[in-house]
Structure 1
Amino acid sequence: MTDRTRDMRISAVLALLSQRGELQVRFLPTVLGVSGATVRRDLAAMEEKGLIRRSYGKIAAARRGAELPVSLRRSQNTEAKRRIGALASSLIPARPLTMALSGGSTAGFVASSLAGRPDLTVVTNGLDTATSLMARQLVSVVVTGGTARPLSNDLVGRAAEKTLRSYQFDFAIVGVDGISPEVGFTRHSARGAEIDRIMLEQAQHKIVVADSSKLGRVHQAKIADVGSIHMLVTDSHANAEMVASLRKSGVNTTLVVIPARVKSNRIRLP
C-alpha cells in the first residue's frame, strides 16, 4: 500500500477520534477495511508521531486540536482544496507580477495550478510549495531562507522574515488553520503565523485560502484581523452564518462548489 493510502487511513482515525474522544481498537479493521496487522502498523506510526495514546485496547488523541503533519493534511478535504486552489490561482492576473505564497496543504494546490505560468515570480517559505511550482519549470521561484519546521515542511525565523520584507508583492496567498469573525485568522505555530503576517503586510492584494473545516476554529497564533484581508476562498460546506459575518466584516468570501457529502460513504463504527 502507498503512503498516501496509509495517510488517508490515519486521517480517518483522527477524524473519528475528534468525534468520539476514544476508540476501541478491535473495531478499526472493519471500519477501515484492512487487516488487523495493517491497523497495528498504522497505530504504531501514529503513536511514534505523537498523534495518539494507547491503553487497554483503546486509543485516544494525544492532544485535541494539535497540528497535524502536512502529509496527513493533504489527504483531508482533498477535493475542496483542489477546487479552492484552482479558483485562487485564477484570481492572479495574466501579466508579469511577483507574489507570495505560503506553505501548507491548500497552498500546495494553488501552487499546482500556478505551475504553468511563465510570467510569475513566486516567493515562498514552503518547501512543498516550491516543489509544486517548479514542476513545469516555468514559474520563477524564490525560496526564503530560515529554519525548517518538519510538521509543515516550511521555513520560519529571521532569515525567512528578512527575505519577505525585501519584496513588495502584487498578491499574497496564504493558508490558515483557523478562521473566526471575532478573533481573525490564526495558526497553530507562532513562527508560522509571523511569516504569513509579513507576506500579507507586504502585498497589495491579500488572499486567504482555507477549506470550510477551518471556519470556527481558533488557534494560539494570530495572523491578521478579518477586516485586513481582501478575499477568502473556501468551499460551499462553510457555515452560512459565519460566511455572512465574514462578508459583513468586509471580507469578499468566495465559495467553490463541492458536491453534497454522500452519507453512505461516511465511516461508521459498529
Structure 2
Amino acid sequence: MRSNPRQIKLLHAVREHGDLSVETLAEMLGVTLQTVRRDVQGLADAGLLVRFHGGVRVPTSTVENIAHTQRENLHAAGKARIAAAIAREVPNGCSLILNIGTTTEAVAKALLQHQGLRVITNNLNVAAILSGNTSCEVIVTGGVVRPRDRGIVGEATVDFIRQFKVDLAVIGISGIEADGTLRDYDYREVKVAQAIIDHAREVWLAADHSKFGRPAMVELARLSQINRLFTDAPPAPPFDSLLEAAGIRCTIAQDTP
C-alpha cells in the first residue's frame, strides 16, 4: 500500500513502543478514533501491523523471538511495575527459580534488598544481578549458554532442575494464546521451563500486556498450571474469562507512588 505521512507516523509509533491502543494512537496523532481505525485496518491488510482487541502491534514471528536488547526496552515501565509487585509478595528466606527473560531480569533487580533467598536460575543475567545481594545465594544451572541472551538450555539444564523442589517459580513467557496455552520459541528453553513448573510448589507467571494473544511455536504449559499471574494491565476478553475459569489469582501492577 502507499502510506500517507500520518500512516507512516503511526507505523513509527507502533514500532517504537511494540504495541499501542487505538485511543493512544488517536491522541498521539491528533485525529479521531474512526481515522485511526481506518488507518490501522489498511496497514493490517498490507501486513505491516497486527490488530488485537483494542489496539495494534508490530507483526511477530511464531518461530523466533525479537532480540534481547530490543526486548529490554519494550514495555520497560510495565515490567518494572510487575517486578515490584512480585517482590512485595516474595517472602524473605524462601527458595525460588527464575527462568530466562527480560521480565524475570527485572524481578531479579527488584529482589536486591531481600534477605536469605536461595535462587536457582538458568539465566546468567539474573545470576549477575542477584550476585550483588550478599545475603542471597545464587545457584546457576548447567547446560548450554545461548549467546544472544545468556540463557542456559539443554538436557543438562533439565537434569539439574530435577534435583530441587523450590517454594516459588517465577517464570516469563513469550506468548499467551486465546486457547489458554503458554508458548515460547525455543523447544530447549520450553523443556527447561516445564521442568521448573514441575519442581515448584507454586508457579507465578510474570507477563506484560503485550504477551496476551502473541503467537509462538512451542507449547510450554496451560494457564491451569499457573497459580498466580502478575501483569501490568487488566486482561481483555477472552483472557479474563480464561483466568477466572482456571482459578488464577491475577495481580495488576499499578504505578508505584
Q: TM-score range by the shorter chain?
A: 0.7 to 0.9
Kindly tell me the number of residue pairs found equivalent between the two proteins. 206
Which residue number corresponds to residue 117 of structure 1? 114
SS at match of 1:137: coil
Residue 15 of structure 2 corresponds to which residue in structure 1?
Answer: 15
Deviations 1:18-68 (A, max 9, x none): 88xxxxxxxxxxxxxxxxxxxxxxxxxxxxxxxxxxxxxxxxx99745311
Equivalent residues in 2 for 1:1-270, closer than 5 Å = 15=15, 64-65=61-62, 66-94=64-92, 96-236=93-233, 238-239=235-236, 241-257=238-254
Q: Aligned with 2:251: secondary structure?
A: strand
Structure 2 CA distance for partners of 1:241 and 1:156, relative to 1, 3 Å: same
Amino acid at match of 2:103: T
1:238 CA displacement? 3.6
Question: In terms of mean alpha carbon deviation, does 151-160 or 74-83 score higher?
Answer: 151-160
Tell me, in whole angstroms, the C-alpha distance in 1 between the residues paired with 2:228 and 2:59. 35
> Does the 8 Å CA contact 1:237/1:258 hold for their aligned counterparts?
no
Deviations 1:133-185 (A, max 9, x none): 11232210000011011233200012111111000111000000011251411
Is the Cα contact below 8 Å between 2:61 and 2:215 reproduced in 1? no
What residue identity is the alignment partner of 2:87?
Answer: S
Structure-1-length-normalised TM-score? 0.70
* Structure 2 residue matching 1:89: 3-state secondary structure: helix
Cα separation, 1, equivalents of 2:79 and 2:202: 21
Aligned partner letter, 1:207 = W
Deviations 1:84-143 (A, max 9, x none): 01111222123x221111121000111011122231100000011111111232210000
Work out whether residues 156 and 195 of structure 1, in 8 Å CA contact, stay in contact via their aligned partners in 2. Answer: yes
Contact 1:115 1:138 in 2 (8 A): no
- Consecutive unaligned residues of structure 1, counting only runs of 5 or more, are 1-11, 20-60, 260-270
- Is 2:17–2:75's contact at 8 Å kept on the other side of the alignment? no
- Structure 2 contact 227–249 (Cα < 8 Å) conserved: yes
Contact 1:178 1:214 in 2 (8 A): yes
2:86/2:107 contact within 8 Å kept? yes
Distance of aligned partners of 1:253 and 1:228 in 2 relative to their CA distance in 1, 3 Å threshold: same
Q: 1:198: Cα distance to partner? A: 0.8
Distance 1:244 1:254, change over 3 A: farther
Residues 100 and 13 of structure 1, relative CA distance in 2, 3 Å threshold: same
